[in-house]
């Protein structure tokens, strides 16, 4: 699973964002930059590192050895959790896992080297493993959207 080698701050502060700010479209990482087809998020959510790995595995199994995959997101935000049956107080819990906060319009995965039908099938399977809604876009569709 993906997680940072080193982190500057072990525990982050809680993000206090309104629903309007969470659903604001992303401004970075919104075009197909590396592959021919991409998986673009249409909703906002936090994606765990094990969910990213599950989506990557289903893409790689579907497209086979000929295709190439790019993961455009990396989980770098630590989420803390207190142990079971621990009383209130005594500070913040220990880091439990890492997530990536996905905004709408963000590119999650890219694929190249496979026919369009197979790429769309693989990316549709991958979005089922993620907590976000998404759509499959091609390089031509992505560049027109600018």
**pLDDT of res. 146:** 56
In the chain, count H helices and then E strands: 4, 7
Record the tokens describing residue 93, joined without a space: 């819990």
Within 13 Å and on the Cβ side, how many CA atoms surround 38?
25
**pLDDT of res. 105:** 94
Smallest Cα–Cα separation from 136: which of 65, 23, 41, 71?
41
Residues 76-85: tens digit of each pLDDT: 999 999 999 9
Smallest Cα–Cα separation from 114: which of 54, 61, 74, 71?
61
CA distance 23 to 37: 24
Record the tokens describing residue 80, joined without a space: 């803390």
Residues 82-120: tens digit of each pLDDT: 999 999 988 899 989 999 999 999 999 999 999 999 999
Whether the per-residue pLDDT at 30 is higher than 60: the answer is yes
Interval 115-143 mean pLDDT: 92
**pLDDT of res. 144:** 66
Query: Taking the domain 34-81+93-144, which CATH number applies?
Result: 3.90.1170.10
CA distance 46 to 132: 8
């Amino acid at each position: 699973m993906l997680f940072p080698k080193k982190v500057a701050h072990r525990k982050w502060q809680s993000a206090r964002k309104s629903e309007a700010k969470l659903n604001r479209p992303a401004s970075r990482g919104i075009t197909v930059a590396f592959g021919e087809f991409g998986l673009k998020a249409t909703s906002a959510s936090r994606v765990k590192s094990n969910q990213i790995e599950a989506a990557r595995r289903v893409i790689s199994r579907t497209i086979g050895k000929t295709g190439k995959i790019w993961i455009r997101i990396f989980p770098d935000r630590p989420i803390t959790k207190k142990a079971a049956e621990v009383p209130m107080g005594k500070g913040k819990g220990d880091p439990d896992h890492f997530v990536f906060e996905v905004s709408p319009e963000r590119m999650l995965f890219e694929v190249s080297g496979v026919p369009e039908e197979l790429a769309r099938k693989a990316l549709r399977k991958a979005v089922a493993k993620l907590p976000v809604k998404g759509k499959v876009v091609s390089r031509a569709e992505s560049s027109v959207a600018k």
